[in-house]
């Protein structure tokens, strides 16, 4: 490029920048910026919503974990893996809902699971149930890969 043309081009650019700077700095009114007003109440409401969403997420995760554990408690491959256990401290005194069949390898997890489920102490009936689940012929079996009680 010719040095004269290059010099003229640079001079035009410099004049343009100076004119632009003069225009920018000559404003008598500053540029207005609007910032939304945030109150303490709005902050508190937002934090409460965040905590609520976190609690819901944790409850959903706990529910999924509980459902997975419950599935594993009753899962089996053959009859030898299943045992009859008390779901309730009263056992057969409570009736058929007092007992269930689970995988024997999961008995410790079942005990922990049941401790977390029952929080209210109840009085046991004085006579044991004579219903099928509590009869002498009741036995645990594996049906369709789930432990159950048969009579």
Query: Does any domain span residue 18?
Result: no
Query: Does any domain span residue 98?
Result: yes
State both tokens at 78: 């053959």
Query: Does any domain span residue 111?
Result: yes
Full residue range of the structural domain in which residue 137 is found: 59-151
For 34-82, the pLDDT digits (tens) are 888 889 999 999 999 999 999 999 999 999 998 999 899 999 999 999 9
pTM above 0.75, yes or no: no
The count of structural domains within the chain is 1
Query: Does any domain span residue 21?
Result: no
Report yes or no: 139 and 149 within 8 Å, Cβ to Cβ. Answer: yes
For 10-19, the pLDDT digits (tens) are 999 999 888 8
Query: Does any domain span residue 67?
Result: yes
State both tokens at 80: 């030898």
- Collect all residues with Cβ–Cβ distance below 8 Å to 89 and sequence separation of at least 6: 118, 122, 124
Return the pLDDT at 133: 65
Query: Does any domain span residue 118?
Result: yes
């Amino acid at each position: 490029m010719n040095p004269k043309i290059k010099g003229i081009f640079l001079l035009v650019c410099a004049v343009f920048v100076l004119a632009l700077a003069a225009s920018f700095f000559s404003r008598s009114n500053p540029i207005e910026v609007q910032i939304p007003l945030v109150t303490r109440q709005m902050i508190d409401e937002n934090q409460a919503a965040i905590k609520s969403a976190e609690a819901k997420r944790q409850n959903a995760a706990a529910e999924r974990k509980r459902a997975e554990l419950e599935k594993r408690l009753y899962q089996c491959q053959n009859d030898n893996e299943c045992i009859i256990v008390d779901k309730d401290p009263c056992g057969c005194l409570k009736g058929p809902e007092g007992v269930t069949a689970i995988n024997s390898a999961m008995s410790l997890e079942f005990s922990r699971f049941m401790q977390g489920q029952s929080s209210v102490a109840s009085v046991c009936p004085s006579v044991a149930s004579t219903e099928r689940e509590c009869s002498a012929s009741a036995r645990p079996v594996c049906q369709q890969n789930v432990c159950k009680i048969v009579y």
